Amino acid sequence: MELRTADIPTALEPAAELDRLGHEIAELSAHLDAATAHLLDLIREFDARGGWNTGFRSCAAWLTWRVGLSPGPAREHVRVARALGTLPLLRQALARGELSYSKVRELTRVATPETEERLLAVGRAGTAEHVERIVRGWRRVDAKAEARESARRHACRGLHVYRGEDGMVTLRGRLEPEVGAVLVQALAAAREALYQRRRATGGADGTEGVPAGTPRADISAEPPSLAQQQADALALLAETVLHHGIDPGAPGERYQVVVHVDAPVLADPDAPGQSVLEDGTHVSAETSRRLACDASRVVMRHAPDGQLLEVGARTRTIPPALRRALHHRDQGCRFPGCGLPSGQGHHIRHWAQGGPTTLSNLLSLCRAHHRAVHEEGYQVDRRSDGVLQFRRPTGQLLPEVPPPAAIPADPVQALRAQHEAQGLHIHARTAMPGWLGEPLDVGYAIDVLHPLALQTHPTS
């Protein structure tokens, strides 16, 4: 028993010694926060300049791969870095080690250039827990304001159809953003279909690229203006609906992709021929190869005269048992640093070129990375020992795990020295909150801080 007393620090440890330890923790934490501000500056610049756009889906995905951050914290770093770009006061407070990263992370969820100063005061005065509770209350007020705004937009949707004296019909309307997006997309698809139709019948667009001054085959056929094309597209949409009936279909069917492809194109992307989506949109040969790669799509092959040769891809579908084995083996996208759980099967050697549909010739890739290897020049091979090798379009190897960064022998001392050299004098009380221990009334705090708070409960 006497032996164990040495393990129990309590009264035996001089209080001054523990104070010193606490000071050291506080001081180093403030140094780390100051260094984090610099790190976020670098991330913001890297993100803005697209430095991550070398096969990665996002700056966060790159951070996960290169720095080893978990996906959640990586996304938070990028979010906070972007937010601080417009919040100079919060950025400076972090850079001076006066406000912890945790507080800044919370405050940037709600801060705008207009509210930044008030929220900085909250950050300085309160503990991290206070800040979190105030931000939560703040977001509730924001959410209510947003819900009001969305209800307002929904209420003022409308479409007015007038018939003028000359018989022309005039449209005027306001659509909610997501409905507008569907309309814009539908109009674009209809315009594209009309363009294809005109090209197929040798219309005015056939003269594209003819040198100026060359007489057109049909002088009266001026290309229609964009407004005229939109009108034609809307008419086509209306005809299509009346012809096929109004049925938006199940989500799976709505987005099904059907590719019409000239037979030689699949085997060799450089072969002449065309690939056309069901809606008439032209896609590149590589795109049609990607869509056919995981052939849960229907590929219709056409003879040179346009006649349907075969509906062939169903026979190439990766069988369910093989797909399960593939998912089990790959556990999501295999592109370095990705790991998204849902994957498409990619044939390393395309089946149209004789590649077998076997585990060793298949790997899982997410949609974005499947696109990267087909359309963006990324390459993937499986070495004879089974290891996958990804290469950038330049041929440079893209390693699964990047080499670690070189760091000085005593990184803490280096950080201190660097901050001293910047004129930054960080000590144990740099990040101390001004809170004196009184209880926090979040409701009151929000009422006096949030610019919209009073609109939310006007009577109270």
Binding site for Zn ion (CB under 5 A): 293, 333, 335, 338, 340, 346, 366, 369
Task: Evaluate whether 364 touches 333 at the Cβ level (below 8 Å).
Answer: yes
Q: Is 208 exposed, middle or buried (0-12, 13-18, 19+ CB in 10 A)?
A: exposed
* Residue whose CB is less far from Zn ion, 193 or 338: 338
DSSP 8-class letter at 7: G
* Residue whose CB is less far from Zn ion, 335 or 378: 335
At its nearest, how many Å lie between Zn ion and the CB of residue 96? 39
Give residues with Cβ within 8 angstroms of 108, minimum separation 6: 79, 80, 83, 84, 87, 90
Distances (CA, A) of 460 to 138, 281, 443: 17, 57, 11
At its nearest, how many Å lie between Zn ion and the CB of residue 150? 33
At its nearest, how many Å lie between Zn ion and the CB of residue 293? 3
Alpha helices (H) in 49-176, listed in sequence order: 59-66, 71-84, 88-95, 101-107, 116-125, 128-155
* Residue whose CB is less far from Zn ion, 44 or 369: 369
* Residue whose CB is less far from Zn ion, 99 or 366: 366
Structure tokens at 98: 């006066």
How does DSSP assign 386-427, residue by residue? S-EEEE-TTS-EE-SSPPPPP--SSHHHHHHHHHHHTT----
Count of CB atoms within 10 A of residue 332's CB? 15
* Residue whose CB is less far from Zn ion, 134 or 285: 285
At its nearest, how many Å lie between Zn ion and the CB of residue 427? 46
* Residue whose CB is less far from Zn ion, 56 or 195: 56
* Residue whose CB is less far from Zn ion, 52 or 335: 335
Distances (CA, A) of 128 to 26, 133, 213, 426, 432: 14, 9, 73, 19, 11
Phi/psi at 452 (5° precision): -105, 0
At its nearest, how many Å lie between Zn ion and the CB of residue 331? 12
- Starting at the edge strand found earlier in the chain, the sheet holding 308-311 runs 282-283, 275-277, 258-262, 298-302, 308-311
Distance of alpha carbon 292 from alpha carbon 286, whole angstroms: 10
Distance of alpha carbon 130 from alpha carbon 119, whole angstroms: 12
* Residue whose CB is less far from Zn ion, 116 or 294: 294
Indicate the helix (H) or strand (E) that contains 170. strand 169-174
* Residue whose CB is less far from Zn ion, 81 or 295: 295
- Pairing relationship of beta strands 258-262 and 298-302 according to DSSP bridges: parallel
At its nearest, how many Å lie between Zn ion and the CB of residue 350? 7
At its nearest, how many Å lie between Zn ion and the CB of residue 343? 8
At its nearest, how many Å lie between Zn ion and the CB of residue 373? 6
* Residue whose CB is less far from Zn ion, 276 or 338: 338
Structure tokens at 74: 């990586």
At its nearest, how many Å lie between Zn ion and the CB of residue 340? 5
Distance of alpha carbon 293 from alpha carbon 287, whole angstroms: 10
At its nearest, how many Å lie between Zn ion and the CB of residue 399? 16
Give residues with Cβ within 8 angstroms of 218, minimum separation 6: 204
